[in-house]
Amino acid sequence: MAERDILNAKQERFCQLVVAGNSQAESYRQAYASRGNVQTCAEEGSRFMAIPYIRTRVKELRDIAISEAFVHLDGHLNKLKEYRDKAAGKDDFNIAANIEVNRAKACGLYTEKRDITSSDGSMTPTIDFSKLSLSQLTTLESILYPDKDNSNE
């Protein structure tokens, strides 16, 4: 890197936040403690990602993260394989099969399907307001209607 390509602390933080999964806008907002609107942060984050040495650093950090994740997964899978082989060696095929299923889950081969729809089949959460206390209802009202004057009620 040339001298002008050396990142300052805020630029490095921006890169780390992008690699951690934040949007460019959110990464900019956090790294620079920006109070700008969403559009400004998005434009600045995009402008940063257009700088070659910023892009290079993001790629370096991503490569490191991928490498470390692979090493951890590889070690985990090898340990499970060792346990599976010991169980199979003792003719405990039930345990060996369970361990093999867990190895497959760790690789993402098995996934759990969860139903997160509400009782009416939509994705909309339902709330039974009759079960809330007066205090909870008042708090909810102040969140939903922050500008409403509740002092006379």
Give 41-96 pLDDT, tens digit per residue: 999 999 999 999 999 999 999 999 888 777 677 887 888 888 889 988 999 888 88
Tally of CA atoms within 13 A in the half-sphere of 124 that contains its CB: 5
Q: Taking each helix axis from N to C terminus, what angle separates 38-49 and 52-89, rounded to the nearest 10 degrees? A: 80
Give 87-135 pLDDT, tens digit per residue: 889 998 888 888 888 888 887 777 777 766 666 666 666 667 778 888 8
Q: Taking each helix axis from N to C terminus, what angle separates 38-49 and 9-19, rounded to the nearest 10 degrees? A: 100
pLDDT of residue 126: 66
